[in-house]
Amino acid sequence: MTLVEGHKQIAPDTAVPVWDTDPYDLEVLVDPYDWWADLRAKGDVVYIPRYSALMVGRYETTKKVFSDHENFLSSRGVGLDDFALSKPWRPPSIILEVDPPDHTKTRKVMSRAMSPKVAKALGEDFRQTADALVDEILEKGEIEAVVEFAEAFPTTVFPKAVGMTIVNKRHLVDYGAMVFNSIGPDNELRKDATTRVPEVARWIMEACDRSRLTDDGMGALLFEAADAGDITAEEASLLVRSFLSAGVDTTVTGIGNALWCLANNPAEWEALKADPSLTRPAFEEVLRYTSPVHTFCRTSGRDTEISGIPVEEGTKVICSLGSANMDPEKWGDPENFRVARKPVGHLAFGVGIHGCVGQNIARAELDAVLGALIAKVDRIEWTGDPVWRPNNAIHALDRLPLRFIAK
């Protein structure tokens, strides 16, 4: 069998539009909005010859494929590699990269460890940390907000929430970026990421060991589930690893993207300050508008169809969450960032059985950060141009030169 990027080469149905393009081109990754519009214009599903894969980007189709775990599997990898045919670069995640019934067991344990009650209890520490960080930023005035704000907050609160006793902030941020780059094609981004894997992955596994965790964090809750016989101790360690791969870089990106949206839309910032009850909807709008996780894949586990078009077993389907979140058919005026939109049904946290299990924590972090900004900051202004950082799955900023002016 011929493999392309670690998955089966397919012969797509003749009814599928063919688009000779590269979804992982660096220029597309740093500025995807026009490319997403072209993707949606091509049809419900397109064939990308470069990767011998199908791709979806209209809202309804993307939602359908992404949530149809019976036909479109996660266990064969959420990147381009098909784990049934090629060896994954790390042992697969036992929550993200599994299907039911294996998924049902680990999902239950993770949902308990990150329940609304747990998120609420963490809220006080999140608020204190956000207040102190915003005070610090106001003292400095001008900052590079990716490092000094977006990375600084989650790398302070999240290891504490997990109960980590050894913390390497750089490794925590880089590990997420590596994991997300590794689910793309074998391009420069993935090559760069994998050269650093041995050093960072060794540190991550050591940091996830029970002996390195306190007995009162989210990590301890996973080991309690192991003690109760719900999962094994080894599985508990792997789930702590999932906290670290999925829970740091994503929220760093969420905070950076929120600052970018607010600095670019001063009238929306004024509206948010005037009505702090919009804090939560404003974050949902940031997620819809910028899709921190822009692209994940599924693999058809059997012969099936998308919008009536036959799809053969073993087909990789690249799902553009970012494009779906900008589909005018769903959102009317997607190009306008509006804090009061309340974009119910956005796909930034995924949808279906794999929908983000950490979303309570992410929302609690952003409540704290936006709450502190609203309370203390009058204006957020650019001091230079923002720069986006290409990543095969994450839509994140590399540089945010900003000035914060106190109330």
State which residue, 43 or 397, has the beta carbon closest to ligand HEM.
397
Looking at the Cβ atoms of 45 and 393, the one nearer to ligand HEM is 393
Closest approach of Cβ 260 to ligand HEM, in Å? 14
Cβ closer to ligand HEM: 43 or 248? Answer: 248
* Smallest gap from residue 154 Cβ to ligand HEM (A): 8
Kindly state the smallest distance separating residue 18's Cβ from ligand HEM, in Å.
26
Among residues 43 and 161, whose Cβ is nearest to ligand HEM?
161
Nearest to 316, CA basis, from 86, 106, 28, 100: 86
Q: For residues 43 and 247, which CB has a smaller minimum distance to ligand HEM in the complex?
A: 247
Minimum distance of ligand HEM from residue 78's CB (angstroms): 5
Rg (the chain; Cα; Å):
21
Question: Is the Cβ of residue 43 or residue 219 nearer to ligand HEM in the bound state?
Answer: 219
- Tell me the residue nearest to ligand HEM as measured from the CB: 358
Q: Which is nearer to ligand HEM, 183 or 380 (CB)?
A: 183
Angstrom distance (rounded) from CA 26 to CA 28:
5
For the bound state, the minimum distance from the C-beta of residue 158 to ligand HEM, rounded and expressed in Å, comes to 7
Q: What is the Cα–Cα distance from 154 to 246, expressed in whole angstroms?
A: 12
Q: How far is the CB of 11 from ligand HEM (least distance, A)?
A: 26
Minimum Å gap between C-beta 93 and ligand HEM is 7
| Three-class DSSP labels, 226-283 | HHCCCCCHHHHHHHHHHHHHHHCHHHHHHHHHHHHHHHHCHHHHHHHHHCHHHHHHHH
Torsion angle of alpha carbons 187, 189, 190, 196, nearest 10°? 140
Closest distance of CB 106 from ligand HEM, Å: 8
* Residue 234: Cβ within 10 Å count: 10
The nearest distance, CB 397 to ligand HEM, in angstroms, is 13
Identify which of residues 107 and 190 has a Cβ nearer to ligand HEM in the complex: 107
Taking the least distance from each CB to ligand HEM, the nearer of 6 and 358 is 358
Whose Cβ is closer to ligand HEM: residue 358's or residue 371's?
358
CA-wise closest residue to 259 among 396, 407, 358? 396
Give the residues lining the site for ligand HEM (CB under 6 A): 74, 78, 95-96, 107, 110, 114, 242-243, 246-247, 250-251, 254, 287, 292-293, 296, 348-350, 354, 356-358, 361-362
